[in-house]
Amino acid sequence: MSKKEPDLHSAYALETPDDHKRLYAEWAGDYDDSFAAREDYQLHIHTARAFVGAGGQGPVLDVGAGTGLCGGVLAGLGVGPIDATDISAEMLDQAMRKDIYRDAIEADLNDGIPVPRESYSGIVSSGTFTHGHVGPEVIPALLRVARHGAQFALSINAKHFETQGFSDALKALDGDKIHNLSLPQVRIYGDLAAGENKDDTAFVALFEKT
């Protein structure tokens, strides 16, 4: 275990799947309090509301669900059933304690998602596509488990939208694999946030599978 408490900078410095597992195993127990509440984290709220506003409905897969922040907002908006997938077993354990999710699926997105093809009518992801942790190359794996017409709402850190290839990837898919693409930009943190990342923004990629 690291002597330094996990924080946002630790998360942004992650490079490998094993790095993710180690950090989030340590962070899972107090993630909601030590990060989300203290930093006035808002991205999960924007993502869930955008999904519902676009007509999204269940069954939904919450990708990179973490401790269930986005799933909690979705459930509060009447969306369900919701399944959670994450690389961290410890994060999923915290999420399942909230009685939001139907099922928990431990998976590394780079290796695919171990569920049958076309299982979901909606795919949401808040905070997973950030700082190069997971790139646009996993989008086909998400499309595989989505039904035709499924609504997507994927938050993507604005600083990495172009540099990590998300813009090009979505343009390449648009009109063939996906349609009705829109990219509203939202603040990741609220007015109470402080520090160098307090003004960071993200795009919420809204689209439907063709």
List, for residues 139-196, the tens digit of each pLDDT value.
Answer: 999 999 999 999 999 999 999 899 999 999 999 999 999 999 999 999 999 888 777 8
Residues 6 or more apart whose Cβ sits within 8 Å of residue 190: 40, 41, 42
- The pLDDT, as a whole number, for residue 40 is 85
CATH architecture of residue range(s) 8-209: 3-Layer(aba) Sandwich (3.40)
pTM of the complete model: 0.84
* Angle (deg, nearest 10), helices 89-96 and 17-27: 40
Q: Domain ranges in the chain?
A: 8-209
- The pLDDT, as a whole number, for residue 196 is 81
Is residue 176 classed exposed, middle or buried when 0-12, 13-18 and 19+ CB atoms within 10 A define those classes?
exposed
